Chain A
Amino acid sequence: MKNLKLKAARAEKDLSQADLAEKVGVSRQTISAIEKGDYNPTINLCIRICKVLERTLDELFWVE
C-alpha cells in the first residue's frame, strides 16, 4: 500500500527523496520504496523519518 502521507509530509517540507534520504541516512531508492509501499521500514527508520519531517509515527505510518 502506497504511503501518500509520507510523500505529502516530505513535499510540505520541500524535500526531495534524495534530501530526505540523506538526512535519515538511507539511499534514495529506500525512501522511494517506502513511499511506493514496496518496503516496510523498521521502527528505528520510521522514528528518524518522523523526526526529520516533524511528525508523529501515527501521522505518517498508521494505516486506517
Chain B
Amino acid sequence: MYNAGRMFGMIFGVLIGLVIAVIVLRFVNKNKKMTAEYDEMQKLVRGRGYMYAFYTVLIFEALMCVLSMGVELPAEQGVIHFVAIIIGVTLHACYCIWHNAYVGLNMNLKRYVIIMAVVSAFNLWVAFTAWREGELFSDGMFRAQTINLLCGLMFAVIGVVGLVKMIIGREEDA
C-alpha cells in the first residue's frame, strides 16, 4: 500500500513537472513555440553532446551494475539510476551550452538562466526540508528525497554554466 501510494505520488509529481515544463518552454521561447529551433552547427554539436552523454551513462550504469553485485550501495535503487540520468543530462547540457548549441535560435539564454535558478532553488529547498526531517539519509541509505537534491544541484550547475557563457558572449559582442 505504501509503495503504491508513493508510486502514484511520483507519477503525479512527474505530471505536474510536465505541465510546468510546457508553460516554461512557452515562456523561454521568443516565438512562443514549444520546440526549439537549431541551426546546422548547433545540431552537429548537440549530436556530439548526446553521444558523450550516452557513453557516460552507459559506463556509469555498467559500473553500478558490477558494484551492486559485490557491495551494498548506500542508496535506494531508484536513486542510483537517477544519478545516471542526472549525470547524462548535466553533461549534455553543459557541453551544448559551452559550444553555443543549447539555446536555440528562438530561445533566450537570460530567461533560461532565471528559470534554472528558480527550479534549482525550489528543489534544494525541498531537499533541505527532507534533510531536516531526517528523510534524506536514514539507516545508512540515501532515500528517494535525494532526487530533489540531485535535481537542485543539476539545475544549479547548468544555470551557472549558462551564466558564465552569457557573460563571455556579452564580452564577445562588445
Could you list which residues of chain A lie within 8 angstroms of chain B, going by C-beta atoms?
18, 25-30, 32-33, 39, 41-42, 44-45
Closest Cβ–Cβ distance, residue A47 to chain B (whole Å): 13
Known contacts A27-B105, A32-B172: A41-B40 contact under CB 8 Å: yes
Question: Does B41 lie within 8 Å of A30, measured CB to CB?
Answer: yes
Could you list which residues of chain B lie within 8 angstroms of chain A, going by C-beta atoms?
39-42, 100, 105, 169, 172-173
Number of A-B residue pairs, CB cutoff 8 Å, is 30
Among residues of A, the one whose C-beta sits closest to the C-beta of B172 is: A32
Question: Does A27 lie within 8 Å of B40, measured CB to CB?
Answer: no
Q: Using Cβ atoms and an 8 Å threshold, which residues of chain B touch A28?
A: 173
A26-B38 Cα distance, complex, nearest whole Å = 8
Known contacts A27-B100, A29-B100, A32-B172: A39-B105 contact under CB 8 Å: no
Among residues of B, the one whose C-beta sits closest to the C-beta of A30 is: B41
A30-B101 Cα distance, complex, nearest whole Å = 10
Q: Using Cβ atoms and an 8 Å threshold, which residues of chain A touch B40?
A: 26, 30, 41-42, 44-45
Among residues of A, the one whose C-beta sits closest to the C-beta of B99 is: A29
A46-B169 Cα distance, complex, nearest whole Å = 24
Question: Does B172 lie within 8 Å of A39, measured CB to CB?
Answer: no
A44-B39 Cα distance, complex, nearest whole Å = 12
Q: Using Cβ atoms and an 8 Å threshold, which residues of chain A touch B172?
A: 32
